[in-house]
Structure 1
Amino acid sequence: MKKFDYLLKWAAVCLVLVFMFVMSCIEGDVGPGDNANLETIQVPEEFDFNTAGEVEINIQDANLNDVVRYSVYSFGADTLNDLIVSGFTNSDGLFNTRVSLPNYLEKVYVVRNDRGQFDGFELPLSAGIVDFTYNGPSSRASRQFKTQTGCTEVLYAVNNQGGFYTIDNESGSYEETVLPNLEGGGSIACAVDRAGRKTYYNTGTTLRYYDIDNGTFHVVSQGNPFNGSYPRMEYNNADGLLYIAKNERMYIVNPLNNQVISNIQISGIESPVSGGDVAISLDGTIFMCTFSGLYRLEIAGDGTSAQATRISAEGLPFQPTSMAIDRNDRLYLATNDGNSQLIEMDKFDGAWQVVQTYNHTINDLGSLPCTLDELDDTDSDGDGINDPLDDFPDDPERAAENFTPSKYGWGSLAFEDLWPAKGDFDYNDLVVNYRFTAIQNAANEIVELEARFNVKAIGASFKNGFGFEIPISPALIENVTGQSLHENIVTLDAKGLEAGQSNSVVIVFDDAFNELPHVGGQFINTEPDVALSEGEDIVINISFVNPVAPELLGTAPFNPFIFIDGERGKELHLKDKAPTDLADESYFGTLSDASNASEDQYYKTSNNVPFAIDIIHEFRYPIERKPINEGYNFFINWATSGGGSYPDWYKDNSGYRNTGKIYSR
């Protein structure tokens, strides 16, 4: 009997354990740090909780006769990521800069642009340094460039009603020109042969092309591997073949004889696998979009299979049905609704922006880029940078734009505003997205800084202000505009900087409640099942008296902070970031704060947990009163290891998140 009772007890225990396991699986993947909490863990004192670090880029180019443009991208183990910085070689062929890169990176991707001739290189990142020497040929050595204006690039667009258009993407106006209706009927696919000056399209199972120079239509062949419409199609100008895909299958076809060269099975596409298009970058990289997002394809050596790596990891709020890449390596998508949107996307991280909306449908796009011998060798503004390399060809003071974290992506700053008291560590009391754009001249000096902010969440009742400090003298700043100040809490000087500061301090807004629409209540965008509010971007523009060396400014987002509930002196910064001159230091060392100014230690608890964090990625923050470690399974592992484990804890990787504890948008 005792033995039977004993067995019953163990059976009950096992049932409870099984139930707990099942419930944990329902909630989400549980990380090794899930049983710990932010009050009891011990974080190494020197760990700063930065998700990014400064990296030195040193490039030596053998082309000493002319300027070459280099662009540096972060390069993750699983996907290409953000465009970080672009710049120009000097008379010694050198390009040197410092950039902020995610800490999990082991390499970068460098693109060399010599008047429209692109070369790409994967380079290792070691001990915060990237060194590279280019000894290849110069484009000038093999090409004779024109001295007059070259060709104008356009996109070609088709739809299934027979509509046919060109779109001016070179000037940035995205103005369209209506062409004659497609002969044979409508089409959902098109691709452009640059050398042959043809725009391929299909009607049913018939492959046709439009002669660009003569304005005539021609039939190429009947039938195709899908025995129907071509869902996705691209012409590869490197090999003269058509790349045609549908769902998880792609065929490479010779358009001259309709022969199938390769039949490729694609792996790695997430559901839904339908829709989308194929586009090929200038360096030969194959991109494909489906309704589930943007992917990079790598075809196996035997030519029978391909692996798809997803780039737009957070998914897309629209369904792309067409895609094209131009000579400047800009990727465009379009939607196929009645008023199609043209979308420019960062092909390295999937960040995007709508650039134009049309009053008709676009079912597919193709790009007609200029060839190298058509490119313009003119330097219109006389700044030493030829027009094909110059982001501002008509402005001698500006030449390139650099972005943190990327052209269309966002970083996030998240605060616990009960400081110096301990909060609930959901880091959603105030969440502010940021994107910095530094505009440089031909000498790679910064002439203007644009800082764009958007308040995403207010998970508290306090009315908090927000600003950032740049570590340079106010004497170097010419003007600051764009602030949103309404409460008479701060005082600005004649330049727009905060008065009474030894460094340059920019106050972005003085009350977050003015920046995010809300109707009653104290929580905005942090409680589940509550409709999302959207605020307007706040755009700060900073001009300098004279161009400033990038190393003097440091890296964005510099030294951001909030001041709490209308009290200007009650500043809260990132861990170990110094307060400004106007901070009230009497709060240090009180309640749960363990700041020690004499040791340059600030804004942390006794176990070294911060009250604010900076994520070089758009932060999907926890819902109300759910600590960050409950939403992100490996946050504690990252913190207690001093950043050594799971440095990408914030990403949307399998098992990383408990989605039920993260605010859904």
Structure 2
Amino acid sequence: MKRAVYALLSLTLLGGCVKDISDNGSTKPGEEFNKFDFSTVKATTLSVDYGTQAEVYFEVYDAAPVRENAEGTAYEKVEGIEPLYAGYTDAEGRFSAKIDLPAYLAKAYIYTPNVHARTLLTADKNGAALTASAIETETAAAAKATRTGYESAAVTGDGWKTWLGTYDDTYGRIDYAYTGDELREKNWKKLYNAANKVFDTSKACPAEYRSSSDLYLEKDAEVAITFLMSNTCWNCSMGYYYYDAAEHPASLKDVHPIMIFPNTQDGKWSNDPKKAAKYKGVDRGTAVQLMFYPKIAEGSEEGATTVFPKGYRIGFVLATNAWGNRLPGFTGVKKYRAATSDGLSINDKGVAYKQPRTAVYRYTNSSLDLNSVICSFEDYTTGQNFSDVIFTMKSNPVDAVVDIPSVDEKPGADDTKREVRLLKGIYAFEDLWPSRGDYDMNDVMVKLDYAKTVGSKGIYEESYLFKTFNNLAGLENGLAFTLGSDAVSAELEFSILRPAGKDNPSPEYESYAVEREGNVFLLTPNVKQDMGATYKITAKYASPIAEGKAAVVKPFIYRTNDDDLTPGLRKEVHLPFEAPTAKADTKFFGTSDDKSDPASGRYYVRAESYPFAFFLSGATEVDLSKLLDPVNEKTPIDKLYPAYMGWASSNGADNADWYK
């Protein structure tokens, strides 16, 4: 079996049951055992609709994973919060499936870093369903904005030409869109996946794509752009210019910009699309063919042609919030101009801004019939993700534009993969089974994280991570798990991350040998041997598997050195009603405080309000800090968490968030 290094999980070990105490919980009259399984997981139908007609990667949280920046113009990711679920919508931007989520989850936060979709959605629970939608209904009244107190196109004060055609003076919607097939990017929605490889709303744009270089034409060519999207609170204007490559312009005034889109607001600003929709100036997918005016320096349209000469460069410029009819709250006049040419961008004081504020790259994918140049703008100095306005450009001939970075994909490699780490929760075990313990539920605690490499075609790789913590348990407990689904036959790798110390100042994951019994894996016979370690188990698949076939792990604790054990067998402690492995010593079932009945398939149950083990879905170390505090050793869990008993006595109907 191949061994390797992988980790990302948390196992929590504590406790020390040394005596029995009374259980003041009650079993219903006539009942031999408590039928409540103490589960904190609920199968929930999650439905998400982004209305994008393009796939969207998303994550599900139990708290808001983003916050607005100081200016209120964008979201910032909150550090230290792990998602509960992550996946992809279909090609229409929709997702609907039944998934396991914490039972306490009454409201979910749906986040995406994709530039083409709304960053944050919320979903309130209705029965066993969570529904989130980014689709906003636009009424005729909503589409009308106040027309007083603004100049329709303030950017014309910079000397921009409006020679391509006319547009309305309220929203700046153009009447000169290009409708031909040769230069319009008909597959523009498929380019969102390409854009997502470079632009991530939660991260800065990679330096290798930031460019202050205009597009050089190696051949005579016709050129058109297709508007992909905007993601900004501003109502910006966008134009283009051109010049002989042998004569780089000294300033923006020298290039005579020509208006393309007076108002680049597409009405889908991720912070507040309902508000932005009222000030929309352009639809996604709108194309415009660029014109070459040989006498533009003379202020003349004479000789206008669709063909740009070989040896010219085409540049683009964005005028921040230049359109007069702006979103409320973002009405400030900005003199900032972002240009693709080196030295032509200027700040609010008219001073040249030297750092690149644009990103340019070519995306090719032969299986999708895509060979396009993608350009994007950062519309102000405060942003870094370069996704405020994104468009694609095509030329005829297609290879006329050269000298730009490329993102090339092999045929069929059109699946956008992401690596994500998810929080599963914490397992807690009492180790005196079959006898009752002190119910502090901290003899062995296991915090479980889950990592996967996922794409729209499924899961390519997945890992389970278990991190251990100091514990006060007097017994030597082993840690193991059963593995289900396709992972059993996958290529498996095991590693361990030991805690930092004098002899290990910079710990790294190391290959780790694990004893295997079919689908049972024994991680360690004594968790105290590597106290505080994190164990990682990774399954690699030859081809992606469906989400529904994701690996299933069921951790349990065990001992093999008790005097009363049958030779070759072991004591095991599992969750209520969960079957043991074939190596479990069955003579202990139904003895002492245990009410198991193997003949009827009933295991690890007792009569009253404390289980021998449970799993707390969505729990973190912060949530269970009281259990991890040695001061609280031997204190029953309901004394530390007063809402616990109401949850247990109601069979989970009440106080589902008792540990949060």
TM-score (norm 2): 0.49
Q: Which one has more relative contact order, counting CA pairs under 8 Å at least 6 apart? A: 2
The higher radius of gyration belongs to 2
Give 1 or 2: higher strand fraction. Answer: 1
